[in-house]
Each structure stands twice: as C-alpha cells, then as structure tokens.
Amino acid sequence: MKLVDTHTHSLFSSDSKMDINAALQYTREAGLHGIVFTEHYDFDVPEGIIAFEFDPAEQQAAVRDIAERYKTDITVLTGIEVGMQPASFDKIHGLLDRHTFDQIIASVHFVDQEDPYHGGYYIGKDAKRAYGRYLETIYNCIRQMKTFDILGHFDYIARYAPYPESMCYADFPDLFDAIFQLLIQHGRTLELNTKTYHIKPDGTPHPDPHIFRRFRELGGEALSFGSDAHKLEHIGIRFDEYAALAKEFGFRYSVYYQDRKPMFLPL
Ligand SMILES: [Zn+2]
C-alpha cells in the first residue's frame, strides 16, 4: 500500500532539527510513497513561546535542491502548517497570498491565547469543557480561513490533556458535524494525525471510530496521514496500522496535495 506522510517538520520548523536529506532517505527506506514537509508558521504566539516562522522561499529551494541531488523516486513536496487564531487571519491570508505551497495544513495550536502543550489551559476545566472549547475554536477558525487543504490534528487538545478520556464523537456531535460539513463542502481533508495516539505511554488518547466514520458518512472521501514527525524515526510511524483502521472506518483512499490539488492513493 502506498502512503504519503503529509505532515512533517524539518529544521525549518523552530522546534525541529530534522535534516531534509536524512528524512528523504528514511522515507524511502520506510517504504512510503512520499513526504510533505509542512513547517510551522504561527502568528501572535502567546507570551513566552518561541516564534514559529520560516521563509517559505528558502525552505522550498532547500527541499528542491536536496531532492534533485538525491535523485529520489519518492514524492517530495513542500507545504506549511499554519496556526489559526481568530485574531490572526489578516496576517495569515497575507502570508498565503505572497507564497505558493503544494499543501496547506490549518491547525489550532493556541486556544484563548494559551498553549495547551504547557498545561495551563486545562486548569479548572474538565475534559468536556477543554475539548469542546478547542473544537469551537476550530469551527470559528475554519469559517474564516479562506484557503487550506487539510485540517491538522483536530484532537491535538487530547494529546497533552491530563484526563484519561479521549475525544469522542458522542460528546460533541453538533460541533463535529458542523466542522465536517464545512470541510466537505470545500473539498478539504480531515487528518489522521498519528502522533496524538502514541505520545503517551499508557495509550490514551485513541482515535474514536465514530469521529472518522461520521466524516465518511457525511461525504468525506479520504483521510490524510500525518505523523507530525519532528524526528527521523517518527516519519510514517505505524502508518500500516492506521491505514488498516481507516479501511475499517469505510475509507478507500488516502490523500496528499500537490500544487494544492488532491492526489488520491488507494488504501
Ligand atoms: Zn501542529
């Protein structure tokens, strides 16, 4: 089965040191069809957080140059993971107007000016409130975001949460439906971000089948598979397992984007 890792971070992301050449070799040896480098770009980061910015022209030239020298037969593409926040859309749209990408992932990393990664966001919230607020933020943001291809890690908020509960469809059916309808209406893709499911040693959070089945049921044709790798050994990690799950959820295709056009691969 052919799969492209649609969500990876090279040294152009401020929280990664992953070497592009080594990443290409690893991708090939892992038997993947290809890789998309989607570097972090976040405007208006909360106080005390490092800047997540890069020069897209420089990143694209570097990737192109290395891919050409390496003469690889795998698909190598360049993209961006843009962090959405309600107050940042003028800047986001300006950036996306100035540059072209193969693929744009839109993600929410900060909620109400807090970074969940550092834990403060969860204080005084139970799982339902913490997850619900995150999904509301996604919904509000994707309504404003003019152009993107993939909604990144919709359950990111469960990744760093102190609760035993995963994010479940049954807790937020209306929010999930509203988000999925918006995505499907504009031909956008839901990401299966595998990092969320293996970051904690005890196994939680896990992917709720009802979430993915509902996306399929409403007309979502394919999922993108993103490892969110910041290190070599995480590229394409456990993709076979998740592809099998996606088939169980009713999907027949995975998808990646080239020149902003969806490219489907049978699962
Ligand atoms: Zn992200």
Give the domain range for residue 75.
Answer: 4-266
152 alpha carbon – ligand 1 mean position (Å)? 6
Mean pLDDT of all residues belonging to the chain: 95
Please give the distance, rounded to the nearest whole angstrom, from the Cα atom of residue 117 to the centre of ligand 1. Answer: 11
pLDDT band, residue 49 (cuts 50/70/90): confident
Helices (H) and strands (E) in the chain, counts: 9, 9
pLDDT value of residue 203: 67
Ligand 1 center from residue 38 Cα (angstroms) = 9
pLDDT over 90 percentage in the chain: 89
Q: How far apart are CA 255 and CA 266, in angstroms?
A: 9
With pLDDT > 70 as the criterion, what percentage of the chain qualifies?
100
8 C-alpha vs ligand 1 centroid, how far in Å? 9
* Distance from the alpha carbon of residue 7 to the mean position of ligand 1, in angstroms: 9
Number of separate domains in the chain: 1
Task: Report pTM.
Answer: 0.97
Cα of 62 from ligand 1 centre, angstroms = 22
Q: Is the pLDDT of residue 38 over 80?
A: yes
Q: What is the DSSP letter of 164?
A: S
Alpha carbon of 37 to ligand 1 centroid (Å):
12
What single-letter DSSP state applies at residue 117? Answer: G
Q: 56-70 vs 20-29: helix axis angle to the nearest 10?
A: 50
| CA of 28 relative to ligand 1 center, distance in Å | 24
What secondary structure does DSSP assign to 56-125, as a single string? HHHHHHHHHHHHHHHT-SSEEEEEEEEEP-GGGHHHHHHHHHH---SEEEEE---BTTB-GGGSGGGTT-
Contact (CB, 8 A) for 46 and 11:
no
- Taking residues 146-166, report their average pLDDT: 94
SS3 255: strand
- Residue 91 contacts residue 26 (beta carbons within 8 Å): no
The pLDDT of 57-86, averaged and rounded, is: 94
Q: Ligand 1 mean position to 176 CA, how many Å?
A: 19
Confidence of residue 47 (pLDDT cuts 50, 70, 90): confident
Exposed, middle or buried, 124 (CB in 10 Å: 0-12/13-18/19+)?
exposed
Measured in Å, residue 81 CA sits from the centre of ligand 1 at 7
- Whole-angstrom distance, CA of residue 88 vs CA of residue 133: 18
Q: Return the residue matching tokens 């939680």.
A: 204
- Please give the average per-residue pLDDT across 230-255, as a whole number: 96
Residues 20/66, Cβ–Cβ less than 8 Å: yes
Distance CA 168, CA 184 (A): 20
Per-residue pLDDT at 48 exceeds 90: no
For ligand 1, the distance from its centroid to the CA atom of residue 161, given in whole angstroms, is 15
Position 71 scores a pLDDT of: 79
- Ligand 1 centroid to Cα of residue 195, in Å, is 10
Question: Tell me, what's the pLDDT at 151?
Answer: 98
Specify the pLDDT at position 32.
97
End-to-end, the C-alpha distance of the chain in Å comes to 6
* Stretch 224-240: mean pLDDT: 96
What's the CATH number where 234 sits?
Answer: 3.20.20.140
Distance 106 CA to ligand 1 centre (A): 8
Please tell me the predicted confidence (pLDDT) of residue 204.
78
186-223 pLDDT per residue, tens: 999 999 999 999 877 776 788 999 999 999 999 999 99
